[in-house]
Amino acid sequence: MREPLPDSPSEPLTVADAQDAVAQAALRRNDRYLREFIEELSICPYARMCREQDRLYRAVFLQSGPTPLAVAEHVQSLEPLTQFEIGLLIFPNFGGPGLVGEAHPFERFVAETRNQYGKLRRPPPGFFLVAFHPAMPMNLANPDVAVRFMRRSPDPTIQLVRPGVIESVRNPGHDRDDLSTRIAEVGLRTVRSAGPEQIASNLSDIHHDDRPPRTS
């Protein structure tokens, strides 16, 4: 059964207070995911650099039903903050507190957010938007599908990437798709070498770290 996209405009989108326990737990899980998986296995060529140079923006949103338009407007509001090259919008309560659900509804939500964002500005985009989710499938058949496994973040997350970041790491004469393919190919080789089952176990441990009790 397909879960409906959250479309109620009644719940405003606000960044969680830094002292909120749920937000702090989500950030700790994200820290582990970035350091123990993305950086440790060199999944992303610019992740460590952005973090160490304080060019990473992170925000936690506790709303269970944010609207794509509200998120798109928040993304647009970040465009003038040029000190940030990568953004991570984390939604630990997406679909309901303590509920994880399948990845597909969140991917549809991100696709609609991307669509709304495109309507707010003229091309080119200020950010590329990518969906990350703890239930991404463990399919390592080829780089194109394996990249979703590498996006198995501990909480539903939207990654924001400025086009300039991609330009800075791609080889001259190659386009963005070539770079994405190369990153996926390197990531797949790394995951296979390290052991997919062990990595999946490690990611599951991160996902359950300081997780609030599941609600019905």
Tens of pLDDT along 94-131?
988 766 789 999 999 999 999 999 999 877 889 999 99
Of the two residues 12 and 92, the one the predictor is more confident about is 92
What Å distances lie between residue 131 and 75, 122, 195, CA to CA?
A: 14, 22, 24
Counting residues of the chain whose pLDDT is more than 90, the rounded percentage is 53
Nearest to 134 by CA among 33, 56, 2: 33
Range scoring the smallest mean pLDDT among 22-36, 104-118, 161-175, 197-211: 161-175
Residue 6 above 90 pLDDT?
Answer: no
Of 99, 90, 109, 100, nearest to 31 by C-alpha is: 90
Residue 213: pLDDT band by 50, 70, 90 thresholds?
Answer: low
What backbone torsions phi and psi does residue 165 show, to the nearest 5 degrees? Answer: -65, -45
Q: pTM for the full model?
A: 0.86
